[in-house]
Amino acid sequence: MVFLPDESRSLPPPPLLNKGSVWLGFVGWVSALLDNGFNHRPVLRAGVHRQVLFTTVGWFAGYFLTKRAEYIHAKLDRELLEYVRHHPEDFKKAGT
């Protein structure tokens, strides 16, 4: 899979209520409200099914983007620690 490789399965999943999910869920809901407003429909009362759909799509997109970001950060941490382990002469302790 291009989005997340198989090695990402070893990481714990992010919580369902995370910053990315909440933010993109809110963006999805606001985009449904803006769509209602631009099309001269009642903003909150029209298209409630679209509001739920856009919020859900935004929530899942935020969840998987958060999952990808955590994988990328874990991969960078692993590579940096591996480099430090292989090159201890570049990382001497202070005072020695």
Rounded to two decimals, what is the model's pTM? Answer: 0.82
Q: Which of 72, 32, 75, 74 is nearest to 53 (CA)?
A: 32
The domain spans of the chain are 16-86
Report, in this order, helix, strand and coil percent for the chain, each rounded to 5.
70, 0, 30
pLDDT single digits (tens) 49-74:
999 999 999 999 999 999 999 999 99
pLDDT exceeds cutoff 90 at 91 = no
Tell me the C-alpha distance between 16 and 14, whole Å.
Answer: 6
Q: Residue 90: which pLDDT band, with cuts at 50, 70 and 90?
A: confident
Q: For residue 50, what is the enclosing H or E element?
A: helix 48-86
Q: Is the dihedral of CA 49, 52, 54, 56 positive or negative?
A: negative
